[in-house]
A and B are shown apart, each in its own frame.
Chain A
Amino acid sequence: MGHTFLTLSTTTILEAVANGHAFGFDIVDLTGMPGGTVYPALRRLEEAGYLTSEWEAERVAHAEARPRRRYYEVTPAGREALSEAARRYRRPQPAPESRRSTPKPTRA
């Protein structure tokens, strides 16, 4: 688990998780990014140790008659990386990475 460089979209996703949007489709809705971006990003973040995930209890899902959900949570390392990345992306002079055509994060 090294220092994974966070792109703008990954930062956005991490930030969404940090703000309590704990599962995949929630994040998809929030950020407006396609699932093909969000899910691999979540896996990457988890691999980097910035996120942990937990499956909700079977009976909860059963009671609500829907498939189990996987909840994501930010780790301390993730928070640190997030604040570092957030600082970087808020500078007046945007870093080259941020020029990519990614949708702007929208706050809930």
Chain B
Amino acid sequence: MSLRSRLRDLVTRPHLRVIAAIGVIVPRRLRADWRDEWHAELQHRESRLARWDRLTRHEKWELFQRSLAAFWDALWLQRRRLEDDLVQDVRFGLRMLVARPTFTCLAVLTLALAIGANTVVFTFVNALLLRPLPGVAAPQQLVRLGRQFQGKPYPSDSSYPDFLDYRQQAQTLSGIAAMSPRAFHLTTDDGAVRVEGELVSGNYFEVLGVAATRGRVLEPIDDSAAGAPVVVVSDSLWRRHFAGRASLLGGTIRLDGRPFTVVGIVDGPFAGVKIGSPRDIWMPLEAIRLASPGASAPGMVGDAAIFERRSASWLEMFGRRAPGVTLAQTRAELTVMAARLALSYPATNRRVGISVEAGLGRDVETQRPLERYAVLPFVAVGLVLLIACANVAGLLLVRMATRRREIALRVALGAGRLRIVRQLLTESLLLVVASSLAGLAVATWLTRALRGLLPERLLFLSFDLDFGVDWRVFGFVLGVGAIATVLCGLVPGLLASRHELGTALKTTRGAGWRHTTALRSVLVVAQIALSVILLVAASLCVRTLINATAIETGYDTAGVLTARMDFARQHYDEARGREVARAILERLHAVPGIQAAAFAATLPLNDGRWEDAIRRDGDPTRLQTFQNVVTPRYFDVMAIPIAAGREFSDRDDERAPRVAIVNQTLARVLWPDASAIGRRVTFDGRSREIVGIVHDIKGRNLFDPPGPMLYVPQLQSAQPNVVLHVRSTVAPPALVTRLRHEVQAVDPYLPVFAVMPLGDHVTATLTPQRVLAFLIGGFGLLALVLAGTGLYGLLAYSVTDRTREIGVRMALGAKRTEVVYLFVADGMKRAVIGIVLGTVVGCGVTPLMAGLLYGVSPLDSLTLLVVPAVLLVVALAACGVPAGRAARTDPTTALRSD
């Protein structure tokens, strides 16, 4: 066919042009056949109609339309293009990965560590902050409700009258329930145990959407005047303490010495409304009235008047949003109601708003500090991921350099730029999939290791949490994997598809690939800079932990065991409480190996939970003071030295004149110029004479300087909830057994709980610092190793790449030291740029973490000296090894290499 006629065809027979145009999108492999088939189709049609010249316009139009049908055909074939290409890409990718096991292992290991580290951090955040309350229906609909006093950072518990008002009036919530956590002394087959439970409103289970596995849950009738004394227990309690006996259901158990009928058993995962603090008993609120008639036990909630008092803060309120209602709508409605209550009851509600927070199971008070602590690990682990990706991208670049002929061949054979990019992305995707799986395994293992750093609980935060992999963790891994794929694969891919690849077939080394080396240099510099930043942060965290561990508490924790007892649950009156405490101490002092034992109202380092205002007699100024109520010999047990005066004795009882002991700080604050001994202070409406001054200890927490402290003898201020402190030379396990034995000899139904060495308590308060030091330190080391291997990889490749050049140089008389210098200088140039860059940026960002540090400045000079030095050494080692190899090059072999 002549060119002329072909041209005429194209102009006059548009349907053929359409086929040619549509053919472009048909997979290349099928394209020729496809065009043939459609040409045949249309030509047949044409010939059936007549010769083209004699066709009517209408017939021509029909022919054109028919040619458009080819588009649907071509579109349908797209599926195959994807299938074919994808399978091809994956198969080819797998072949490439298997063919180079060293590269693959190195890349997978690098990414697995980075993805694993990211996953660990996320797993922790997930367990501590994200997982919803387990075992309830639609947890996302639940809202926490709290009284928000003006000027207070966190919401407080509610009162019963407020609860009733909200429950009756709220339209945006399908139900509002209330709960008060409460421990019970449960009489079991083998003695008494302390169990955690909840006093709950009658609609508690209904609002939560929790059903009983046996029997029934509590219902509104149970929480009314008509209700009988009933409880619901957990499946775990039933198995733990009643051996799963069927008779428990419908039977009676004794709680705090009073009988209750078990009407139902609920099974996990539901275990109350506080995540991490499993509860075993649910009792109607109304039971307070049952337990209270005439009871004068100190410190008990059990006072029926509490139902009437609008000022009492004792109920945790929560609700379930009605379908289709947003959190904002609920908040708006309840805020209006709070304002109405403030008008109706100005005496109690004038300054009270309402706080409405989504979700149930965590309190804002513990959540906020956690969120603050979570930021740094996330940033750090993100940097680790960046470094790892830079490393793998570097590896891929090297490998691409060795593959440039193959890629050039593919380009020459018609592979488009997109196709090459996709092939390389597929390869990095395969790498990432393998690494993500390995990373999940790493994360699971690391999570277990990290949990070992956590105490059972820290103040009011329990760590008894579910650290498992759920869909959130899985989604996170997927997301991180996707980011890693793009970061690792895109840069080399785009680079590889550049047009100058076409020339790679002709050249052997160098030309056209210089920019690869330049890019790898940038990657290595970035890696080193990032790891400097991480190591600076790590060093600051580690120094914080070291400083914090070295803090003098003011007492000696070695050999001190603590255990709690709750006299209130035993319904002791004051006299009985004193008698029991005295009897227990007497028995313990008779035990060989026990040097001293004492009761106190609280452990130190309790975050200021035991503070009250006191004043100097004759002076109205009030002073916020940390207080403790202790028995004689407390200062012996704690090894707190007496600075002046005397300790408490058994004679400081309820009949004797009221006395107190102050710490040095309080003495100095109140009587700066004279001795405090013999002076008087008033608190709790009673005037007391100061008989002794003791050394300061860390009372509130480890980081604040010791504040003013006041000690009061227990015989003059009965405490229902006490902590036993025992100093002994007996090993803890034997001591615990003995301790329980002696307590049971005094009261067989008095449980001993929360037994732990005092040292553990102090160590536990440093958990955030320890976790940060461990995590950030670990990430820093990982970053260091990755940056080191990155630099090593760059130089090692450079040495291989320049073998011939080295050969020439050596043949021309270059000394080995000169060759070594050539490469070391080459590598160190980049290292130094990275170190300087990292140090400068590090100095800019570390002040952001000042709030997490203790005893070390964000611009700590030691850190800023040591970290760059360490990196210099690592960089030298990373450069030295390949440089040494270069120096050992045999010129004759080198010159013969291609």
Cα–Cα distance between A67 and B42 once the two chains are bound (Å): 10
From A34, A36, A69, B40 is in contact (CB under 8 Å) with A69
Cα–Cα distance between A106 and B66 once the two chains are bound (Å): 20
B37 in the interface (beta carbon within 8 A): yes
B24-57 interface code vs A (CB 8 A; 1 in, 0 out): 0000000001001101111111011000000000
A23 in the interface (beta carbon within 8 A): yes
Prevailing SS type, chain B contact patch: helix
**Are the C-beta atoms of B44 and A35 separated by less than 8 Å?**
no
Q: Given the complex, which residues of A lie within 8 Å of B61, measured CB to CB?
A: none
**Are the C-beta atoms of A70 and B33 separated by less than 8 Å?**
yes
From A35, A66, A69, B66 is in contact (CB under 8 Å) with A35
Q: Given the complex, which residues of A lie within 8 Å of B70, measured CB to CB?
A: 35-36, 39
A11-50 interface code vs B (CB 8 A; 1 in, 0 out): 0000000000001110011000011110110010000000
**Are the C-beta atoms of B72 and A25 separated by less than 8 Å?**
no
How many of chain A's residues touch chain B, expressed as a range? 10 to 19
Q: Given the complex, which residues of A lie within 8 Å of B43, measured CB to CB?
A: 66-67
Interchain nearest-CB distance for A6 vs B (Å): 17
**Are the C-beta atoms of B76 and A40 separated by less than 8 Å?**
yes
Cα–Cα distance between A33 and B70 once the two chains are bound (Å): 13
From A25, A40, A67, A70, B45 is in contact (CB under 8 Å) with A25
Q: Given the complex, which residues of B lie within 8 Å of A29, measured CB to CB?
A: 48
From B39, B41, B42, B76, A43 is in contact (CB under 8 Å) with B76
Interface size on B, residues (CB 8 A): 21
A59-98 interface code vs B (CB 8 A; 1 in, 0 out): 0000000111110000000000000000000000000000
Cα–Cα distance between A70 and B77 once the two chains are bound (Å): 17
**Are the C-beta atoms of A67 and B39 separated by less than 8 Å?**
yes
Interchain nearest-CB distance for B45 vs A (Å): 6
**Are the C-beta atoms of A67 and B36 separated by less than 8 Å?**
yes
Interchain nearest-CB distance for A2 vs B (Å): 16
B69 in the interface (beta carbon within 8 A): yes
**Are the C-beta atoms of B76 and A70 separated by less than 8 Å?**
no
Check A36/B36 contact, CB under 8 A, given A25-B44, A66-B43. no
Check A28/B72 contact, CB under 8 A, given A55-B33, A68-B36. no
Instruction: Using CB atoms and an 8 Å cutoff, list the residues of chain B in contact with chain A.
Output: 33, 36-37, 39-45, 47-48, 66, 68-73, 76-77
Closest 8 CB pairs of A and B: A36-B72, A35-B69, A36-B69, A39-B73, A40-B76, A67-B39, A25-B41, A67-B40
Instruction: Using CB atoms and an 8 Å cutoff, list the residues of chain A in contact with chain B.
Output: 23-25, 28-29, 34-37, 39-40, 43, 55, 66-70
Other A-B pairs beyond A39-B70, A67-B36, A67-B39, 13, CB < 8 Å: A24-B37, A25-B42, A35-B70, A35-B73, A36-B69, A36-B71, A36-B72, A39-B69, A39-B76, A43-B73, A43-B76, A55-B36, A68-B36
**Can you list 29 A-B contacts (CB < 8 A)?**
A23-B40, A24-B40, A24-B41, A25-B42, A25-B45, A29-B48, A34-B69, A35-B41, A36-B68, A36-B70, A36-B71, A36-B73, A37-B69, A39-B37, A39-B69, A39-B73, A40-B72, A40-B73, A40-B76, A55-B33, A55-B36, A66-B43, A66-B44, A67-B39, A67-B43, A68-B36, A69-B37, A70-B33, A70-B40
